[in-house]
Structure formats: structure tokens, C-alpha cells
Structure 1
Amino acid sequence: MSSSKQPVEFANVVLRNNDSVFVTGGITDDKGRFNMNNLRRGAYKLQISCLGYETRTLELKDFTKNIDLGRIEIDSTSIALNEVVVTGANVINKVDRKVVLPSASQLKSSTNGFDLLQRLNLNRIDIDLLRNAVSGAGGGEVQLRINGVKASVEEIKSIRPEDIVRIEHYEEPGARYQNAEAVIDYIVRRRNSGGYVSADLRNSFQFPFGDNNFNAKLNHNKSEFGVFYSGSYRGIDEMYRNNSEEFHMADGRVLNRIEEGSPDWWKMNWQYMHLNYSYQEPDKWFFNATVRNQINDVPRENHTSKLYWLHRSNEAMNMIEKSSSETHIPSVDLYFQSNLKNQQFLMFNLVGTYIDTDKKRYYSEMTGNETLTELLSDIDGNKYSVIGEGIYEKGFKSGSLSAGIKHTQSYTDNTYTGSTNAESTMKQAETYLYAEFKGKVKRFNYSLGIGGTRSWMSAQGNGYQDYTLRPTISLKYNLTDKSSIKYTANLYSSSPSLSDLENVEQIVDSMQIRRGNSQLKPYMVYAHSLNYEMSKGIFNGGVYVGHRYSDNPIMESTTLENGKFVRSMENQKSWQRLNTEVSISVKPFKDLLTMKFSGGMAHFDSRGLNYHHTYTNWYYNGTINATYKDWSLYGNIKKGRNNFYGETMSRNENFHSIGMNYRHKSLTLGMMTLNPFTKTWKGGDDNYSALAPSKERIYIGNLSRMMVFSVSYNFNFGRKFSSVEKRLNNEDKDSGVLDAGK
């Protein structure tokens, strides 16, 4: 608390050992309270800092038992803005991850965990506000976790900023995380009494666009009860598609087809709900049970266009494409953690999931009243899966050891009716074992891991069985107290997706067919990176160089059969990406103003059995965050990171936004404008097939110059925190359905 006996909210609290190595940290709550648990015996330094106050350091000598530090006073400084209670964000670089302690300005300007992630602007992480998605710069999976638990975006939205102790960012994940491109782990507090009710509402009044969350938790003695609901909707009536296609026929003719779209509807509704119960015996064991249900509904995705051949442009056809889809994903999640003696932990997780998918598509090409092409597709998909995982961890004076096993078993049954009829059943299993040791010798940090995977698939007489070793290594050297260099390398196997393995055909239009391939095999990926980081005064910066090589990757293939162009997936020769990126951030006025800029280059080399493409993309991303008292202002501008894989270059849209929040106690009001300086949002793909190249552009007028208003409110009662953290969880969202759309 302050010298005037007032609680200091959002003060940074950092615990280090006598060698100044970070041990743990957190943020004080609205009453200035904090706690730290599961500490080893020894001597520590406790540092408390907050802008507008003198930094205070306490010596904790011969720590052997629980200590109540009582009231700790920090004196106000004489700076001009001493009434502003905000703190600087600390980033602690560890051998395998970055530990990010969000600043008070970032916490105050955020209303949930997903909102905070946008404010942090982590390196090589892309946030898609339209689809509520998070992806890596390379287009790979970003695992979101809560206290080590694999979580969805909706669950991240259920986190209140004031409950976040820190965020751990794994830029090059180790053996435990298998094929993830990055891992973002939210470490949050757990209560053991009281609770809260909160609502976070964001809506636009220009057209149907909203993200609304409701959250409640109740703690009583050793039990916690929780319920969370998230509902998002989009209703876009200004979407249209332009397409330019070439078809190289067997007789040498080249046909050029043009699609000119008219504005039409795209509607989406996402609903997510979970019920949660947990029970803990402090410092002994912890049990958690969660029941989830997710509904992804796209009732309308329509394209109405004029379609014509370039050599007969006066003979235009009317093209109509109407698609809809609905997916239900109920699941049950059981978790148990046992805290053993001598810094040992055992963790077990069992998840059962059912995925029910229903997709419909109607496509027609007409001239006047004459129907030239008419296609119908109705897909009924059912997938059942069980995921079980167990992990053992042991801490040592010189490091830590982790070992685990994970097994996934699934069964898929899909029925295709309409213009083509097919039945498809598939069984798939994967077992993964790993062991990893992390340690430190003076300025040198290291992490060594070894993993092994058995992948198996059987589908209507076809299948594969594959065994792969996965070694990982991470080496980091602290050049000075404020600069470091890190090298990471890993080798792993990537399995084909269930949808690509489907031995079925779907007719796309009058010229094209999409076909599954049950002969696909897993392939090897070799990845390594070098990262340099430094800080000096108000500046922080870094340089990243990464290279990824895939041997016999699963990439697209186009063939000509009986006058139709068949698009499918095959194991091709190779694919590689070289990525360099530079980032710099500056805080000229402490946390009152933070500016960050990053920019880079990605070079792609894609080699198929009968094609070879190269592509280079330059991109950048800039953010600004300003805070004064209860007001916050933020802005973002980015040039999208395009991706090239197989024969397709996928365009990541350019984007910019400006927003403002006002917070008064538990109420936060805000407004944001998306793409205020452009008329139309634009995305699309370029395909470079020698037989059937194409350029597709999607335009959405609603997503420019759009205003979004937000209201967030938290009601707390009887707050008291505990330290038990659930450390792992699994989920299945791969429906295994082959889509028929363009």
C-alpha cells in the first residue's frame, strides 16, 4: 500500500533468487494483495514496482516456511504524473519461453484475455478479429493454454485481466507441444472463496456484428463452480467474389473464365458454453471436470456472380453458389493433478469428444432460363475421439525433468449425398512419448528433448503405420544482463488431415473436381531458428531468423482427366520457408506511451512432383498504446503476412484499427473503428498451377469504416486466491470432412 495507507492496484511483484534469476511474479489485486506459492527453500529478493512510486526491494533470507509479509508500504515519487497508477511490462527471457508480466495500462485497457493478447502484440502472432482466431506467422497452429491447459479462443475470452498473473510465450515450443508453431500460456489465479459475475459485450450498430461473453464463478471451501457462455455473430451483406481462371486443355486450347461478383450475404453464428467443477486439497491434489459444447453455424455463405468465357464475353452466365454448415462439438474433460514430495508432479487428462457436421452446397450456372450446370452436395459427418495424456515433472537444483505420453484414438463416419454419393469410414490413432530436461550453467541455458511418435490410419482397405523420432534442442546464452542470443532446432513428423485422406470426390463446378487421397503418408519437418534480443533504456529490440524444411510434404496437385481439372493432395518433393524479422519497441514516457514496430521478409520455395515455385513476401506491423488515468487509446496497422504452400499464395489482409476505452472501477466503456481509412476489406488467393491457374479476390464493404462499441462489467464478492493450477488439457476439432466449395 501507499504511504497514505491506500492500496496500490496493479503493482508489479517480482521474486528473484540471489543470482537475480527470475523465479515467479505477478500483479497486485484491487486491494494491493498478492501471494506466491510452491517456492523452494532458500534466499530471495522481492521487488515491488509501480509508476508513481519508489521501487522497493525486500530481502527474504533463509526462507523455509510460509511467510505473511503484512503491510508493505511504498512511497510516492515526485514525478509530475504521480497520480497515474500504471506499471511497466516486464519480459523475462528463459531458455524455452518468454515470461510476460502485463503492465497495468495493458490490463486496464483490456476486458478479457483475448483482448489483452491484442494489446501485447507478441512477435510473429497474428490476431484475426473477424474470425476470432489466432495463428502463427507461418500459418501453423498456435496453442492457447490456461495454466498449461490447452484452451480455445472462447475460453481465453473467459479470463478477466485482473486474474492474469503472467503470460508465457513459447516461440519455438519444445518436445511436449509436438507440432505447434507457438504456445501462449495464460497463468491465472485461482480463488478459494467468494466469486464473481462478469459480462463483456461488443457490438456494432451499423450491421450485425458482435462478440458477447458472460462468465460466473463461485468458490466455497475447496470447491469451485463455473459457467461461461460466449456468443458471436456476423451478418455481412456486402460480400462479393471476383475470379479469373485459366484452363489449359489437352488439345492445346487455353480457356479463360471470368467471374464478376455482386454483393450477397455471409452470416455466421458461434456459440460456446462450458460448465466446470473443481476440487482441491491444497498442496496435495487437484481434480477438475468440464463439460463443453460448441456450435459453429454458418447459415448463409452466398455468391451471386456473372460468369463468362473471355472469348465469348457477350454470352454471360448467371452463377449462384449457396453454402451452409453447422457443427456441434460436445466434449467431456477430466483432469487430475497430484503434487508429490521433492518437487514432483503427476498430471492426467482424459477427453472424449463427438463432432457432428452438416454441410450443404448448391451451385448452378444458367443462361436465361436454361440451366447449364446444377450441383448439389449434402455432407453428414460424425467423428468420435478419445484423448488421454499423462505427464510427470521433477524439479532439481540444476534444472527440471519432464516426461509424458499422449494417445489419440478416433473413428470417423461420413456420408456424402447429392450430385455424388459416397460413404467413408476411417480409424486413426497416434501415440506420442517424450522426455525433456531443462537446465542452466551460469549465463548458459539449455533444453534437450527426445520424443517418439507412432501414427496409424485405416480407411476402407488403405492406410499407413509410421514411426518417427523427434529430437529438440534449445540453447541460449546471455551476452549481458540486457542482451541474449538463442538457437532452437527440432525435427518432427506431420500427419495428413482426415479431410485430405477421404477417398471421395466432390464436384466444384462445370470444370473442376476436388478429390481426397487415401494414399497420403506422414512427412518430416526440420525447423531451426536464431534469435537475438536486447534492451537499452527506453528501447527494446530483436532480430529473428528462422528456417523450416519439409521433406515429401502433403501439397496440392492438379491433373486433367476427361476434360475436368482434378484438384487433390499428394506427397510432393519439398517445401521450405526462410523468415527474417526485426522488431523494436520504445516507451518514451514509461507506460504512458508504448510504440512497437516489426517488419520482415518470408521467402518460400515449393517443389512438387511436376512444379517449382518461389515467392517472397514483405510485411510489417505497428502498434501504439497510450494510457492516462482511466483512459486508454490504442491503434494498429499491419501489412499482411502472405503464405505460399504448394501452388497457392494465400493473401493475409491488410488491416488497421483505432480504439479508446474508459474504465471506472468495475465498468469499462469503449469504442473502436476497424479499417477507417479504406473503403473495402480485401483478401484472396493466387494459384499458380500450370494446368489451371487462378486469381480469386474476396471483397467485404461492411468491414471498413465500422464502429464497434463495448461495455464490460465485473462484480466481485469475497475474493481470496489460491495457487492450484491445472496444467494440461486436450481437445479435438478436426471434423474430417472434405469440402466441396471453391
Structure 2
Amino acid sequence: MHIFTFFRKSFFKRLFILAPACCFSYVCGLGAIISGIVYDESDKPVEYASVRLSSEDSKYIKGGVSTEKGVYFIDGLENGKYIISFSCVGYESQSIPFEISNDNNLNLNVNLKTTHTSLDEVVVTGDRFIRTADGLKIYPDKQQKKHSGSGFDLINNLMIPGVSVDVAKGSVRAFGGSVAIYIDGMKSDYREMQQLRPEDVESVQYMEAPTGKYAGDNASINIILKKRTSGGYVSIDALQRLGYLNGDYNLAARYYNKNTQYTLYGGIDYNKINGNRLDKQETILFPLEPIDRNYATAGSRMSNNNQYAQFRIRNKNDRRTLRATFNFLRNATPEDFTSYMLTYSGNTIGNRRVDASQNTVTRNYQYNLGLSGNFKLSHNQMIDASASATASRNHYDYCYTENNEAAISNTLENLYNFQGNINYIKNFNNSNSLTIKLFELFNVSSADYRGTDSSWQHLWTSETILFAEYARQLWGIASLRLTPGMSAQVYRQHGHDRVSKFGPRAQIVFTLKPARNQFIQLNGSYGNSYPELSYMNGATQQVDMIQQKKGNPNLKQTKLTTAMGVYGIGFKRLNLQAMLLYNGADDLPLPSYFIEKDMLVQTFDGNGIWRQLNGSLSATWTPSNIFNMQAGGGYMYNRYSRVADLSAACWYATLSANIYLKDFAIFLRGATPQKAVSLELETVKTIWQYSISATWSKGPFRAEVGFNNPFLKHPYYDMNILLPVYNSSSRRYSKTDSQSAYLKLSYYFDFGKKTKHDKVNIDKTINSGILKAN
């Protein structure tokens, strides 16, 4: 598990105390206020409408945007005559003259008329991002949607300041953590994002300070789709890679019947890779005599395959949205084999060379049923609720051999999971809101270990999180979010007493918009996290002839502290964002090694300390609709202590550019190497990453060809572990990091009225509580 997936929230207490003082000059002498609600022709609120205030001679004074409820608010007005203008994509602009006298406040509501221009015909010029109370509202242009093959492609092509997207892995990150993705206000996942057809996207909301139903997220993106009530589609896509054998094939179908939509999709993918290499030197500091081991890879081969299917029903009306989903997933690794020339050396044993090999075989099945709903109780109250149940059956077979000796493990696990979530949201006047959120995660793992070390392990865990968030708008230019809460974990490992742990949680976020094109955010949190199931396992696995791996049922609750400051400014064609981030973790479970009965034993020590400091700068430049560019970079420092004293620091940079030429588009990506210490206490130096791809899109046909690291034949990752009783230095080469090319083709067929189309893929991850030797 990578360290950067471990932390999600932020805390900046000292800076928050200073922040209101920085705003004092805005509070004094506010003057008169003009406020109101922006409606459409049917008296429904228009969200994120642009509001512009100018003098009688049309000189710009200040501006803003309406909230999700259509409310706008402009203060600091002196006596005099003004013009206020309202505009929004899909509506006719409207300008209204008014006068302020005797410092009296004015309430002015407005109704905007709908235009007959399709969003696909809109050409976005000037400011690409509309700043809102909690982030940005973005209307993708026709070229960005046309040359995106998935939801991740689209977010990547939007080049949102401070947001990084790994399209291949399906991850979106901002502010040092993951970004939660929603589609039409309902939580999405990797599968839905890969399925999403960008041409059907109407707009994208990016929330830097999520509130309401999005409360608790580090940052949120809500993708709003065009509304459809009839018709359907069938789509297919296929990807084939050269350089190593990899294929991905998917089929999807969707049908709309008034307020109900039915979706069915499935697919397969496979990998077959030969020639990966791991060369490693390690020293085990046994009390009587250190032993050195030198691994030289003689050969390797790996193959895996995945199959999936999903059926979903969704029904929506003005009062509520209901969704039911059934998933089936199978993944298998029939072979993951590596052979070594292994050399032992020491004062007593001298040099001894042996033939060694290891092979891992896995088979996993997962069934999942999910139910969710949004319910509007009144015009200002809402409940979000979701529940899912998952059953998994995991097979894990491991075999390590040295000459005529072997270490064998055959494990069968049944894993059951339940997740429940309920949110209550109440909106008050002036865009203030209260959110109460309750989350429950329950796991039961039962595993039968057979082989060199046999045992039966049974573990159940329950984790509950409860918090309330109050969000308040301040002075028309700032907002404050206060989120107190608590979490509890109860678990029991077979043969051990039940353990109960409780901990407080708190988050505070202060956001200031000193001008229409600027924002400042001070963000901080204190929270906690609990170890993974496999860490708390009581099993023992034999890794090789002199090494074992053990779980630890007595790990502690990890305490998390985060602090962040962000400043963003946008010009007509250039957007900049600077961020300073601090992450800390105490009582963090980390690998620990000790000697026991002539064996090196790896387990987990729950006393670890981790600190990280990250400063970054991101810039998005859009000189024209043909060319867009995003660049970012910064400095990152990581340090671990107590269990081990390790640190690493590096400068890093990324660059991406998009070129749109009608039916064709070219995409360039690049990233410098990084150096960091992982949760495995391994200091890793990564490689250069760069790629070039091109797409052609015409009607229902789309073709994409790409090249990854075209000039890197043998890229190596350098990895080191330096601990009191165990040291290692290794170099890893993987075919997936070397030069490769791919071709992806897709086609869709509409029936009935035009509808949304999906690109299909799947999250192949199946959870497991098995303690694995490798």
C-alpha cells in the first residue's frame, strides 16, 4: 500500500486563527448590499450563474456567481447608479440598472430565459473555469469531449489547476489526497468512470471545499450528465498492447424508459509477461554470523486474467433517486513464476550457490449487491443513504524452493463485507448548511492456512465514523467549515480478547475569495485510521528457508494530522495554484524485523511515526482552443522514525500538452523521477515517465494509438532497505515500464432517441485479509 493513499484530510489550526484577521479590512465598512436569487423561466434556481457588477458607464467593479440554490450576494456598495449583469451557459444574458441611495440594501431576483443553443455548439472562450463558492464550474468544450475515451480522460483533458490524473490507474488526486468522484450527485467508482462517455457530459463541478452531501471528502468532482428519458445504445471497445501481451475487451448496453435506466455490461482482460527481472543483494544480521544473499534472476513469466459483469437499475424523479447494482468479478493468476541463481556467503558457510524459484497462483471470486438513494425531504433538507454487501472467496497458493527444500502455503479465505452510509443535509439561508454523516464498515475474514505453517484464522472488525459539519458563509467573500466527530473500532481475532478503540476527529476549513479570480484556503484536520485486515492477521507464512512473515493482532489506532494552505489565481488564459502541505501519522503500523530461532521474522510494529512536507506549484495555460498545456512541480520530503529512522527528499515536475486538430488530437505527457520511502520502509527511486498518443474520432467510431516510454528499453527502479537486522539493495525491471505501444478501437450504436454511451472497464481489485508471503 502506498503511503499517499493513507491520508485524506487536513488540519491548519494556527493559520486558521490568523485567517479571520486577514479578512478584517473587508468586514469594516461593508456598505450597501444587493442580493437575490437567479431563476430560470420555470422559477427553478439557476446554479453558478455569473454575476457582474459595473458602474453606469459599464466599468467593471466586482462580480461573483450564484450558489447551488441560485443565491447571489454583493456587498460594499456606495450610493450611486450601477448595472448588474447575469449570464450562464444555456441562458440569455440579462443586464439590469439600479440605484443605491441612503445606504439601503436591495433585494433583486431575476429570471433568465433559456437559449436554443446546444451545449455541444458552445465554444468556450476567455475564462475556462467559473469560480463558485466552493470551487470551480467547468463546461467542457466539444473538442475536449470528442477526444476523451473515458471519464478519466475528460478530467485529464480539462486540466483543472492543482488536479493530477493517472488515466492508466484510474486515480484523481488533489491537495495531496484522493478526489472523490460523483456522477449526477451519486458516488461513482473506477468502473463507472471508465464507462462514462464524455460526449454526454454537460458540465463538471470541482469542489475544493466540499460541503453538504460531499462533506468529508478531501476534494470532490461531480460530473453532470445530459438528461435523457428514452432510447438506448450498445457499445464495444477493444485495446491491444505491443511490447508485452495485454488485451482489454468490453461490451456495454443501456436502455432508458422515462425516469428509469437499465445498464448491463461485461468484459475480459488478460496479461502475459515474460522477462521481468529482480536482482537483489541482502544481508541478514544473525547474532552469531551475518549472512549475505545475492539473487540473480534466471527467468520469469507471469499471466493473469479478469472477467466481470454488472447490472444496474436507476430510477429518478424530482423528489428522489434510487439505484441498485449487482456485480460479479473473477480474477486469476495461473502463474507468477521466477527462478534465481542464489548465492549464500558468510564466514562459516563460505560461498554456496543454489537454484531457487518461487511461484504464486491466485483465484478470486467476488459478488456484490449495492443499494443507494437520495431523498429530498423538503426544499432545504435531504437524506443520502447507501448500503452494500460483498462476499469474496480467495485462493492463494505459494511455493518457494531451494534445491530439494520447499516452503509451501495453500490458503483459502472467505471474506464478507458490509458498508452502510447515511447523510442528513439541511440548508439554511445565505447558503449555510448542516450535515450529519454516519458510516459503518464491517468485515468478517475466515482463512484456512495449510502447508509449512498451518493455522485457522478468524477475524471480524467493525469501524464506525460519526461527524457533523457546519458550513457558514462569511461576509460574502469567505466561508468556514467546522467538522467535529468521532470514530470507533471493535475487532476480535480468534483466540484473543475483543479490542475496542475510540478516537476523536476534527476538521476545519477556511476559504477566502479576496477577488473574483482568487482564492485562499487554510485547511486542517485531526483523525485516525485502523490497520488493514492482513496486518492484524495472526497467521505465520514461510517466505523461504530462513525467513518468515507474521501478522500482529495487537496493532494500535493510527493518529493522523494534516495541515494545508492553498492559494489560487486565475487570469484569462492562465491559472496558477500554489500549495503547502504537511502530513503526519503517529502509531503507524510499519514492517519490523527480528531474529527468532535462526529465522529472520518480518512482522508489523504499531509504533511508527511518519512526517511529510510537500510544496507544489501548478499552472494551466490555454492560449487557444487548439492548444492547452499544464505544468506542475515541487519539493517533497518524507521521514519515518521510532520503528526505523529513514528519510528521503526530491524535486519533481510534470508536464502535459494537448493539441486538437478537428477529428484528430495529440497528447503529450511527461514526469521526472521521484525518490520516496514507502510504507514498506523501502527507499524507492522511480524512473522517467513519458508518453505520446493520438486519437481520431468521427461519429460513432474512435481510434487511439499511443506509445509509452518509447526510448526506454531497460528502465530500472532502484530500491533499498536499511534496518537494524536486515539490509537489502535491489534493482527491478518490469516490461510494463519499458517501451510499449497500444491500439484502442471503439464503436457505439444508438437505437431510439440519442442517449448516453459508456466506455467499459473495471476495478479488478478484490479485497483479502490473507497474510501473503510475497
Superposed CA deviations along residues 287-337 of structure 1, whole A, max 9, x for unmatched, are 211101122322222212211135689642222111122222211111222
Structure 1 residue runs without a partner (length 5+):
1-12, 25-36, 50-54, 77-83, 723-729
- Tell me the number of residue pairs that the alignment of Structure 1 and Structure 2 aligns: 684
Aligned to 2:594: 559
Which letter does structure 1 place at the counterpart of 2:486?
G
Deviation at 1:100, TM superposition (A): 4.3
Tell me whether 1:292 sits opposite 2:333 in the alignment: no
Contact kept, 8 Å, 1:47 with 1:56, in 2: the verdict is yes
Distance 2:172 2:682 in 1: 18
Deviation at 1:86, TM superposition (A): 6.6
Distance 1:40 1:174 in 2: 16
Deviation at 1:257, TM superposition (A): 1.4
Q: Report SS of the residue matched to 2:88.
A: strand
Which letter does structure 1 place at the counterpart of 2:202?
V
Distance 1:450 1:93, change over 3 A: farther
Distance 1:606 1:93, change over 3 A: farther
Deviation at 1:200, TM superposition (A): 2.7
> Which residue of the other structure, out of 371, 374, 394, is the alignment partner of 1:334?
371
Distance 1:651 1:228 in 2: 39
Tell me whether 1:363 sits opposite 2:404 in the alignment: no
Structure 2 residue runs without a partner (length 5+):
1-46, 54-62, 74-83, 97-107, 757-762
Matches within 5 A, 1:219-368: 219-251=256-288, 253-280=289-316, 282-310=317-345, 315-366=352-403
Superposed CA deviations along residues 432-471 of structure 1, whole A, max 9, x for unmatched, are 2122122322211222212221111111224421122211
Contact kept, 8 Å, 1:643 with 1:651, in 2: the verdict is yes
Q: Report SS of the residue matched to 1:501.
A: coil
Matches within 5 A, 1:173-572: 183-251=220-288, 253-280=289-316, 282-310=317-345, 315-366=352-403, 371=404, 373-399=405-431, 400-441=433-474, 442-460=476-494, 461-572=496-607
Aligned to 1:725: none
Contact kept, 8 Å, 1:88 with 1:591, in 2: the verdict is no
Contact kept, 8 Å, 2:473 with 2:479, in 1: the verdict is yes
Superposed CA deviations along residues 458-491 of structure 1, whole A, max 9, x for unmatched, are 1122442112221111111123222222111011
Distance 1:182 1:211 in 2: 30
TM-score scaled to structure 1, two decimals? 0.85
Which letter does structure 2 place at the counterpart of 1:127?
D
Contact kept, 8 Å, 1:175 with 1:451, in 2: the verdict is no
Distance 1:686 1:115 in 2: 35
Superposed CA deviations along residues 196-238 of structure 1, whole A, max 9, x for unmatched, are 2222322124542123332221111222111122433221112
Distance 1:139 1:375 in 2: 41
Distance 2:566 2:593 in 1: 38
Q: Report SS of the residue matched to 1:553.
A: strand
When structure 1 is superposed on structure 2, of 711-720 and 469-478 the one drifting more is 711-720
Matches within 5 A, 1:629-708: 629-645=662-678, 647-683=681-717, 685-701=719-735, 703-708=737-742
Deviation at 1:121, TM superposition (A): 5.3
Distance 2:675 2:301 in 1: 26
Contact kept, 8 Å, 1:247 with 1:254, in 2: the verdict is yes
Deviation at 1:523, TM superposition (A): 1.6
Q: Report SS of the residue matched to 1:227.
A: strand
Aligned to 2:80: none
Aligned to 1:3: none
Deviation at 1:559, TM superposition (A): 1.0
Q: Report SS of the residue matched to 2:154.
A: helix
Contact kept, 8 Å, 2:233 with 2:253, in 1: the verdict is yes
TM-score scaled to structure 2, two decimals? 0.81
Distance 1:475 1:70, change over 3 A: closer
Distance 1:680 1:330 in 2: 40
Distance 1:540 1:662, change over 3 A: same
When structure 1 is superposed on structure 2, of 40-49 and 639-648 the one drifting more is 40-49
Distance 2:766 2:85 in 1: 44
Contact kept, 8 Å, 2:48 with 2:137, in 1: the verdict is no
Deviation at 1:380, TM superposition (A): 0.8
Superposed CA deviations along residues 156-190 of structure 1, whole A, max 9, x for unmatched, are 11111022234444567779779866554433345
Distance 1:169 1:295, change over 3 A: farther
Distance 1:44 1:191 in 2: 31
Which letter does structure 2 place at the counterpart of 1:570?
D
Which letter does structure 1 place at the counterpart of 2:232?
G
Distance 1:137 1:221, change over 3 A: closer
Matches within 5 A, 1:124-139: 125=164, 127=166, 129=168, 132-134=169-171, 136=173
Distance 1:568 1:144, change over 3 A: farther
Distance 1:201 1:735, change over 3 A: same
Deviation at 1:506, TM superposition (A): 0.7
Deviation at 1:693, TM superposition (A): 1.4
Contact kept, 8 Å, 2:153 with 2:167, in 1: the verdict is no
Deviation at 1:409, TM superposition (A): 2.1
